[in-house]
Amino acid sequence: MDGILHLAADALAAAAALPADFGWTSNPDLPDFEGEHDPIQSVINWGQGIIVVIGIIGILFAAGKMAVGKFGRSDLAADGVGGLVWTVMGISLMLVAIPIINAVANTA
């Protein structure tokens, strides 16, 4: 095993002695994000998708509470209705925020 390590160390030392030319630039440019590869728009699109998934989960959770409340637990059903209202309002506010973010970030 030690012989292999010594051979690998010798090969690495020989490779390090070879000249290498890296084309470094002192004034790098930012990439052009026009078209399909705009990272800000990608983040906003991911956010929209996450909002929709969270909204669906919230609505199903509130509907489950209302369904369980149907079997004699009226307080749980009332809590489900209140949760549904809060879920719909939260989703609405998040979806209204996206055009505002697009306008401020000027990505649209």
pLDDT tens readout for residues 46-101: 888 888 898 899 889 888 888 888 788 778 888 888 888 888 898 888 888 888 88
C-alpha to C-alpha distance for 55 and 63, rounded to whole angstroms: 12
CA atoms within 13 A on the CB side of 78: 4
Residue 108 in this model has a pLDDT that exceeds 70: no
Is the full-model pTM beyond 0.85? no
Q: How confident is the model at residue 12 (pLDDT cuts 50, 70, 90)?
A: confident
* For residues 26-53, average pLDDT: 76
pLDDT at 107 (0 to 100): 57
Integer CA distances (angstroms), 22 to 19, 43, 45, 90, in order:
10, 33, 37, 52
pLDDT at 9 (0 to 100): 82
C-alpha to C-alpha distance for 59 and 93, rounded to whole angstroms: 15
pLDDT at 32 (0 to 100): 66
Amino acid code (one letter) for 93: L
Q: What share of residues in the chain are helix, strand, coil (percent, to 5)?
A: 75, 0, 25
